[in-house]
Amino acid sequence: MTEDNFVDYVKINVRSGNGGKGSAHLRREKYVAKGGPDGGNGGRGGNIVFVSDKNLWTLFHFKFKKHFKAENGTDGSKSRSTGSNGKDVIIRVPVGTVVKDTESEQILYESINHGDKKIIVNGGKGGLGNWNFKSPTNQTPRYAQRGISGVEKKLTIELKVLADVGLVGLPNSGKSTLLSVLTDAKPKIANYEFTTLKPNLGIVKHRDYNTFVISDIPGIIEGASKGKGLGHHFLRHIERNSILVILISVESVDIKITYEMLIRELHTYNSELLDKEKLLVISKCDLLEKKDLSKIKNKFRSTFKNVDIQYISSVTMSGITELKDMIWKKLN
């Protein structure tokens, strides 16, 4: 999937159908001069329904269609005939999608499982026909109810990528390169910051035909939790990862300070992210001599006492197999 085709945030307009009018028909037949009221009820307007679909991976299908209107219910007719209901509009979204009311920011729907379905906007109720108002004191009502109008809403749709593992790190820390060697994904790789502008997904093949899904999100910078850089546009994608792999380049000026900054940004955005399993990965270790790498390892044993650390090189493939084993062990 190309970067341009990965759409994870859209705003759309939806409107449910109007309810049909009730009928004020009076029965008239050849041998029944005064048959009384027999007007039927109006049909219900169509609903706006969201359905989760595991076959969708992006919100790209909203790129060219952002207005959805359900059918109106038809009017009631004679012989107490109820009008037909308006056809519902079915809107399919990927698993992991959150639908919000744009004006109130209220979450209306969160898709978790394939096939989940929810009516987001109800269609207008059909009006009652005149036969409903017949009584001993009003035997020939000549009026009926109008149908209730449909409801229009502006919706914000956000996709939160569902992956087992999320790669977190500064821009240009080697996340895309690591994804490319762990999976068959072909992310854009270049030697400048924010090469990755959209999340990339890949499937990691492990021992005994086991697999897990890993996602590479755009780099985090200080202040990202407040919207700086790409901010909230990508931090939401790691909310549903089981494990966070925090990737820091060995070229970093101070790995400990960088790690603390990344943890602080995650905590500021959503404190629950710190409850997830974490793994610190030091990348680009091929740039160091063996003796220098040994010094760093000895130093970090005491610096990161409660954090599992793995040292890798995506160029020489050093430590990649061990990294897969560590991730698989944490996942299970």
pLDDT class of 2 with cuts at 50, 70, 90: very low
Same domain? For 270 and 307 the reply is yes
Query: Of 4 and 204, which is predicted with more confidence?
Result: 204
Domain count, the chain: 2
At 58-98, the pLDDT tens digits run: 788 888 899 999 999 999 998 889 999 999 999 999 888 88
- Predicted local distance difference test score (pLDDT) of residue 190: 43
CATH number at residue 264: 3.40.50.300
SS3 state at 298: helix
**Is a pLDDT exceeding 70 seen at residue 322?**
yes
What is the phi/psi pair of residue 142, to 5°?
-105, 30
> Both 129 and 179 in a single domain?
no
Question: Which pLDDT belongs to residue 19?
Answer: 96
- The reply to whether 179 and 319 lie within a common domain is yes
What local confidence, expressed as pLDDT, does residue 315 receive?
Answer: 87
Of 159, 190, 208, the residue that ends a domain is 159
Q: What is the pLDDT of residue 5?
A: 53
- Give the pLDDT of residue 262: 87
Same domain, 8 and 117: yes
Q: Identify the weakest region by mean pLDDT among 7-11, 78-82, 120-124, 317-321.
A: 7-11
The whole-angstrom separation of Cα 55 and Cα 185 is 18
Where is the domain boundary, 108, 134, 159?
A: 159
One domain, residues 198 and 149: no
First-to-last alpha carbon distance for the chain, in angstroms, is 29
Domain finish residue from 159, 187, 219: 159
Q: Do 42 and 106 reside in the same domain of the chain?
A: yes
- Residue 218 pLDDT class (50, 70, 90 cuts): low
CA distances from 39 to 13, 45, 77, 126 (A): 35, 19, 6, 13
* 169 and 154 co-located in one domain: no
Neighbours of 226 (CB within 10 A): 12
Mean pLDDT of 154-166: 83
Task: Name, of 5-9, 75-79, 252-256, 262-266, the range with top average pLDDT.
Answer: 75-79
Same domain, 192 and 244: yes
What does the alpha-carbon distance between residue 222 and residue 181 come to, in Å, rounded to a whole number?
28
Query: What average pLDDT does this structure show over 265-278?
Result: 81
Q: In terms of domains, do 100 and 216 share one?
A: no
Mean pLDDT within 105-123: 92
Q: How far apart are CA 59 and CA 325, in angstroms?
A: 33
Q: Looking at the DSSP assignment, which residues form a beta bridge with residue 118?
A: 50
Q: What is the CA radius of gyration of the chain?
A: 29
Give the model's confidence band at 238: pLDDT under 50 very low, under 70 low, under 90 confident, else very high: confident
Provide the residue range defining the domain that includes 271. Answer: 165-331
Strands 48-53 and 117-121: antiparallel
Question: What DSSP designation does 135 have?
Answer: B
pLDDT, position 228: 46
Mean pLDDT of the chain: 83
Question: Are both 197 and 235 inside the same structural domain?
Answer: yes
223-235 pLDDT tens trace: 444 444 444 455 6
**Residue-level pLDDT at 44:** 96
Q: What is the DSSP string of 166-223?
A: EEEE-TTSSHHHHHHHHSS------SSTT---S-EEEEEE-GGG-EEEEEEPPPP-TT
- The contacts of residue 94 (CB under 8 Å, 6+ apart) are 52, 53, 54, 56, 57, 58, 59, 111, 159
CA distances from 105 to 7, 11, 102, 117 (A): 20, 12, 5, 20
- Based on the fold, state whether residues 5 and 101 are members of the same structural domain: yes
Q: What is the CATH number of the domain that holds 104?
A: 2.70.210.12
pTM: 0.66
Q: Does one domain contain both 176 and 270?
A: yes
